[in-house]
Chains A and B, each alone.
Chain A
Amino acid sequence: MNVLNIIINWLNAAVLAGAPLLLATSGEILTEKSGNLNLGVEGQMYMGAIAGLAGAWFAEQWFGVGGMIPLLAAVLFAFIMGCISGLIYAVLTVTLRANQNVTGLTLAIFGTGFGKFFGEVLGHKAHGYVAVGAETKAVFGNISVGKLAELPVVGTLFFKYNWMVYFALIIAFVMGWFLNRTRKGLSLRAVGESPGTADSAGINVTRYKYIATVVGGGLCGLGGMYMAMVNQKGIWVTECVSGYGWLAIVLVIFSTWSPLRAIYSSIIFGGLTVMYMRVPIPGLPRAIYMMFPFIATIIVLIITSIRQSKEHAQPASTGLNYYREER
């Protein structure tokens, strides 16, 4: 019974920890489906995190209320900031044809600096450190879905999360439907697989690449906001994203570019990141625990590279810019 409890609580924590990964992974899948390999997710999450927190904090200051208004402000600001980060990437790689790898890495460096810089500025403004009020914290806290949450095992597993967990799940489902069941999704996949062919078929490659990258960035921004508002409970912590952006890029590979498979893979990795708190193994130092997600990542990378299949491969043009005149 005790073991079962540990496992159930662990799964619950895994879903909570996996939700930001799921948001960022969905965003990155959308981006990569357009053929843009954006390595800057870490930076985008940082930008979303600080924008979301700043949005909530300023909304509290201006309107003098906590709760829903700061929540909406946080979502809006984080999404827009994520979109801006995606736009920077799209302008540089699509229009100005810069190297995708280096642009992504620069975005990671820039975004991290951006988050830390404005986090500290905001701290000065708040005379010490930034923290949102209890009411705002509460709307990002776990909502218990009525009586359902009281059900023994099922309640903990399905009905004891904050709203963003359900939101992330909906995004993943919508994304899966969009990519595989709609005309526009088909066009987007065509752009990622073979931009030349898509262009000949009359698809506006540039527009698809831009929109996918910008919206994908917005989702990464929301993932970052989750880190700041839920994981850190609305307090600015300099290391709040701490590698989750990079994990999201790995999860894209692990879930083989499918938002639906991203659901369980983000829960697995979420579980690994919180394992040290939930599954005590006597004598194992915490630092070794903390290595688990990263070691698992390497194993995943190696295994997926060994058994490459045509069906589950990355979009063929990922990482390469499209030169129309060289078609």
Chain B
Amino acid sequence: MTKSAINEHTSPAEQLALTVEPPSCPIPKEPLIRMTKRGSISTAQKVFVYVVSFLSALLVGAFMLLAIGKNPLLAYRDMVVGSFGSSIYLGETIRLAIPLLIAGVAVGFAFKMKFWNIGAEGQILAGGIFCSYLVIHSINNGNYWGKVPLHLVMIILAMAGGALFGFLPAYFKTKWGTNETLFTLMLNYIAIQYVIYLQSLRSWQHPQSTFPKILDFAGPTDNRIMLPRLFGVHIGWVFALAIAITAYFYLTKTKHGYEIAVVGDSLNTARYAGMNTRWIQIRTLLISGAICGFAGYLQVAGANHTLTETTAGGIGFTAITVAWLSKLNPFIMIPISVFIAMLQKGSLFIQMTMGIPASAAELLTGLILFFMLGSEFFIQYRLVFRGTHRAPVRELKEEAGV
């Protein structure tokens, strides 16, 4: 626009804006696209951005499926059918979602404090290992535990095991600033190797077997180990829902939850406010670890009735996805964990029906998270293309006091 653009419709303020003398130094050419921070964004726009990025993830996934010569539409349809198509499939999906939800809540606690706990895997295994010790001891000594005390003590042990694995990195992080990401990760590997070690022990194997595998707990304990079922799935799902709801209120309605939020936003603010940040971090990791340990107990008692090195089987990592996609909100984690479980169950199904490798689940999960991470930008910022000068004129007007 130049001075010639001024006519009777131009307001005085716009005239002022348009007739401002350009500075004498050369102005660098405006970039083709630049970004400005959004003041606010409506819910509809937000939903639109999320939906577009979700669909883009599916689209990229579809291209990968096309690249290996499979029909992506059929594959996606079969994934839904294979995870929700019958009550048996649905039960399987829910069974997969239980530990995801619980571990998601647990890592959500830590992530809220910007404590990057990626050791849910190890904490789940620690819970499994600790409670399996009791079961093995019971089996090898004449099976002396009754059902209810057996489960109660198993839960306590499992939570203690998980809490220990949460405590160690938190202690060193708060004492010396030891990198918690790598610390928790290394504990994962140590836990896995420890389970492999237990598998090699004679007293943990089936008496008639020499295969390095921990025996199935169900038989020797007269099925005492098995959790009761409700609507076709072991009752772990009731616990999982209860944990998610409790966690929501813990985080939003209690003093502890407030402290976690402040520590996460700014450690210094928390310190100035007189909070014992060290104890808050250790306490939260004890809780986070204990919840993961509980998930380990459910895996041993509810899902598998034994302990293997794959008892955690990537749950700890997928839980990070669950937590982040839900924006660390335990309520939203409920549908998200079911959705991720659907991807996992669905990809097992398409492996069977279409010969697509089951790791498609990991691939798709990663893609969706990539796009969701990227979409945050479009919620925070707005892109301005070259030539659209609306915003600067408005700013000039404001500066001119009109």
Contacts and interface: CB of A to CB of B under 8 A. Distances in A.
Whether both chains belong to one complex is answered with yes
Contact of A109 (B193, B194, B321): B321
B176 A117 contact: no
A98 B373 contact: yes
A186 interface: no
Contacts of B118: 105
Interface in B348-381: 355, 357, 359-367, 369-370, 373-374, 376-377, 380
A121 B70 CA distance: 11
B194 A291 contact: yes
A80 B367 CA distance: 19
Interface in B163-213: 172, 176-179, 181-183, 185-187, 189-190, 193-194, 196-197, 200
A39 B185 CA distance: 11
Interface residues of A, number: 50
Contacts of B183: 298, 301
Contacts of A295: 186, 190
B123 to A, nearest CB: 15
Contacts of A250: 182, 186
Interface in A98-145: 98-99, 101-103, 105-114, 116-118, 120-121, 124
A88 interface: yes
A198 B232 CA distance: 61
Majority secondary structure, B binding face: helix
B128 to A, nearest CB: 16
A88 B371 CA distance: 11
A277 interface: no
A120 B355 CA distance: 10
Interface string B300-344: 000000000000000001101100100000000000000000000
B365 A113 contact: yes
B116 interface: yes
B197 A102 contact: no
A92 interface: yes
Contacts of A91: 374
Chain B: interface size category: 35 or more
Contact of A114 (B182, B197, B363): B363
B182 A301 contact: yes
A116 B357 contact: yes
Contacts of A288: 193, 197
A301 B374 contact: no
B377 to A, nearest CB: 4
A113 B177 CA distance: 32
Contact of B373 (A43, A106, A306): A106
A111 B64 CA distance: 14
A194 interface: no
A280 interface: no
A285 interface: yes
A92 B374 contact: yes
A120 B350 CA distance: 14
B68 interface: yes
Contacts of A156: none
A264 to B, nearest CB: 20
A290 interface: yes
A99 B370 CA distance: 11
Given A96-B376, A250-B182, 20 more contacts: A43-B366, A98-B377, A99-B373, A102-B369, A102-B373, A105-B320, A106-B366, A109-B369, A112-B362, A116-B357, A120-B359, A246-B182, A246-B185, A250-B186, A287-B196, A287-B197, A290-B193, A291-B193, A295-B190, A305-B172
5 contacts: A96-B377, A102-B369, A109-B320, A113-B359, A116-B359
Interface of A: 39, 43, 88, 91-92, 95-99, 101-103, 105-114, 116-118, 120-121, 124, 243, 246, 249-250, 253, 285-288, 290-291, 294-295, 297-298, 301-302, 305-306, 308, 325
Interface of B: 37, 64, 68, 116, 118, 172, 176-179, 181-183, 185-187, 189-190, 193-194, 196-197, 200, 317-318, 320-321, 324, 355, 357, 359-367, 369-370, 373-374, 376-377, 380
